[in-house]
Amino acid sequence: DVSPVVAGLIGATVLVVSVSVTVFVWTCCHQQAEKKHKTPPYKFIHMLKGISIYPETLSNKKKINRIRRDKNGTPKEPGRGNLLVDAAESGLIGSDKTPDGPNAAPHVDQLPIKVDYGDELSPDQSLTPGGSKTSSPSSPGDDVMLGELTFSVDYNFPKKALVVTIQEAHGLPVMDEHTQSSDPYIKMTILPDKRHRVKTRVLRKTLEPVFDETFTFYGIPYSQLQDLVLHFLVLSFDRFSRDDVIGEVMVPLAGVDPSTGKVQLTREILKRNIQKCISRGELQVSLSYQPVAQRMTVVVLKARHLPKMDITGLSDPYVKVNVYYGRKRIAKKKTHVKKCTLNPVFNESFIYDIPVDLLPDISIEFLVIDFDRTTKNEVVGRLILGAHSITAGGVEHWREVCDNPRKPVAKWHSLSEY
């Protein structure tokens, strides 16, 4: 015979163990089911010199084992030939996550603005409409040759897949004065839907990069090829600030017929034309300056007609406000996230202490960003007011704020592509 107390303890123990085992088994099964149903962010296959490196390499940060060959095509010694290329170092992971190193440019100590300091641009660079710095002495201008890009286009009829191979570039300009070279890589987008955004790895210190990377895009009917445009953006990687935009190449597929086989193309790299950037919606902001208090009040009011960023046809937007003094970012703040909307209302204000004599060198950048819990947040559009404003509306808005102290000036502005 067992006493009731002992029987109760045994029963409680058995119950606790049973519940724990059940919860553990259910958790394991749930995690396995999530892994099976998880899909990669892009529906394409990325081939690097015949080796599939996507999506496993990008998600698990595996390393690629390649053999370095000399100019004659023969492999070098086994001990020296194996080259481990990390996905992050190869440029497969966004360069904006790279932390500032010990050689980052110093902050502006003499600037009497009471805000938190953020990332900086190097002293010989400044903001440009394309979201990068290209005003250094070596940056491309209207009369500078930007080189040529060689690529091929093919179509796989059984799989209904568009195959684009980015082969090489020639004659790129020098973007780094210290090394007299560049660290080029290429971002490619299929317009007008912009559903597929891919990029190559970064090749270090070269003006004649050989990428030899193949991107296969599935689910594109051959009948729709005539309506698509391939957009190649050539950039130079910078570890401590924004990457340099070298130029772009636009290739309408209406003039390309890959039905008979691979089509080899070579196009001249042109300076990026910001005016061709499609509007990414509109943002309404209000600015007012108090000359006595020497204080700038920035109010992010609302946005409208934002593009659809989620599979639900909506977005989760928020606005990041960056303040620049000359070429250096000196403050960054952001609004709250507005869930499931293409026309968010923010009504959030930010105050900055700015002396009157520094106003001509101040720029305020507004980045509308789509929040995502599972993947990287994506920039929807961009607006700059102040010294580096590139639109007539932005210049006029800033002039009205400076000419009408103590008066809030609110205006709508079209967002440009980041």
Q: What's the pLDDT tens digit per position in 153-200?
A: 999 888 888 889 999 998 888 887 788 888 999 988 888 776 677 889
Using a pLDDT cut of 70, give the percent of the chain over it: 69
Distance CA 409, CA 287 (A): 5
Compute the C-alpha angle 142/147/150, nearest 5°. Answer: 140
Q: Are 177 and 137 in contact (CB under 8 A)?
A: yes
Using a pLDDT cut of 90, give the percent of the chain over it: 23
Question: Looking at the predicted structure, is the pLDDT value of residue 56 above 60?
Answer: no
Distance CA 272, CA 196 (A): 20
Task: Give me the DSSP letters along 11-50.
Answer: HHHHHHHHHHHHHHHHHHHHHHHHHHH---SSSEEEEETT
Task: Return the pLDDT at 75.
Answer: 46
Q: Are 170 and 148 in contact (CB under 8 A)?
A: yes
Question: Looking at the predicted structure, is the pLDDT value of residue 218 above 70?
Answer: yes
Distance CA 287, CA 266 (A): 47
pLDDT in tens, 66-108: 434 444 444 444 433 333 333 333 333 333 433 344 343 333 3
| Burial bucket for residue 393 (CB in 10 Å: 0-12, 13-18, 19+) | middle
Residue with tokens 């103590």: 406
Q: Are 199 and 91 in contact (CB under 8 A)?
A: yes
Q: In Å, what is the CA distance from 23 to each residue of 35, 39, 143?
A: 19, 26, 68
Distance CA 90, CA 140 (A): 25
Q: Are 233 and 198 in contact (CB under 8 A)?
A: no
For 267, the token pair is 């196009």
Distance CA 85, CA 82 (A): 10
Task: Return the pLDDT at 185.
Answer: 92
Distance CA 44, CA 181 (A): 32
Q: What's CA 174's distance to the chain center, in Å?
A: 23
pLDDT in tens, 384-404: 998 888 788 888 899 999 999
Domains of the chain: 147-271 (2.60.40.150), 281-415 (2.60.40.150)
**Coil/strand/helix, residue 388:** coil
Question: What φ, ψ does residue 13 adopt, rounded to 5°?
Answer: -65, -45
